[in-house]
Structure 1
């Protein structure tokens, strides 16, 4: 397991891209401020970038099924098959967050 810490101004609009992974599950933990995560099902998306093994990511566009609002201290766990879109803007304040990557094999 390892973690990546980010500080950014969330800029995404829900549905602009989704991602999946094959090697890791993600634990998205918001440390400061808030953001939304869009989630959806496979039948709602089209692949825009084939799986990149080095970066462990495949990208999609499609329809949002649900928005999950994450506030400071809250987390969302996404498994490899879970289509998710981080960085959906809630407000104009910077978000500080850590994403823990947990190997699944």
Structure 2
């Protein structure tokens, strides 16, 4: 898992070319004009424009992906995202190839607050739980960009 401000990560010299080019796409593309839903950008690249109200942690769920990296990019609002290694989680629902997701259950040990302009990259070993209230319930608008490994 990697988290930071988009502008800072774009300038980083230590990230792979695939991650670097995806961050540049996030920076240069105007995602704010898209309606909520799934949008194709290329053969191995698509994104969800998600709009929702943050919830209590008990109403959220753990997931991890095997085929696609997740780039969570906050456009509006604030949310907390819980993160953990999949080895510390219990499998609740086995891997679903169609959804590219394994669902887990487990305690929350680490929470990261995401603000507008923040990006979090979730790797296959990162179980993550998005949409958690950060302070008070609020509307979040964000991009979840999916890049095939």
| Structure 1 residue runs without a partner (length 5+) | none
Number of the residue aligned with 1:103: 148
Taking structure 1 as reference, are residues 40 and 14 closer, same or farther at Cα in structure 2, changes over 3 Å only? farther
Instruction: Give me the CA root mean square deviation.
Output: 1.6
Asked if the contact 2:75/2:143 (under 8 Å) is kept, the reply is yes
| Structure 2 residue runs without a partner (length 5+) | 1-44
TM-score of the pair, normalised by structure 2: 0.65
Measured after TM superposition, the shift of residue 43 of structure 1 is 3.9
Number of the residue aligned with 1:61: 105
TM-score of the pair, normalised by structure 1: 0.91
Number of the residue aligned with 2:39: none
What is the number of equivalent residue pairs in this alignment?
104
1:13 to 57, 63, 77: 57
Measured after TM superposition, the shift of residue 65 of structure 1 is 2.1
1:26 is aligned to 2:70: yes
**Relative contact order higher in (CA < 8 Å, ≥ 6 apart):** 1
Query: Between Structure 1 and Structure 2, which shows a larger proportion of strand residues?
Result: 1
Asked if the contact 1:15/1:85 (under 8 Å) is kept, the reply is no
Poorly superposed stretches of 4+, deviation over 3 Å:
none
Larger Rg: 2
Taking structure 1 as reference, are residues 24 and 12 closer, same or farther at Cα in structure 2, changes over 3 Å only? farther
Instruction: Please list, as runs of the form range in 1=range in 2, the aligned pairs for 1:82-93 lying within 5 A after superposition.
Output: 82-90=126-134, 91-93=136-138
The whole-number CA distance in structure 2 between the counterparts of 1:79 and 1:54 is 18
Single out whichever of 24-33 and 7-16 deviates more from structure 2. 7-16
The whole-number CA distance in structure 1 between the counterparts of 2:92 and 2:118 is 30
Single out whichever of 87-96 and 48-57 deviates more from structure 2. 87-96
Measured after TM superposition, the shift of residue 14 of structure 1 is 6.4
Query: Between Structure 1 and Structure 2, which shows a larger proportion of helix residues?
Result: 2
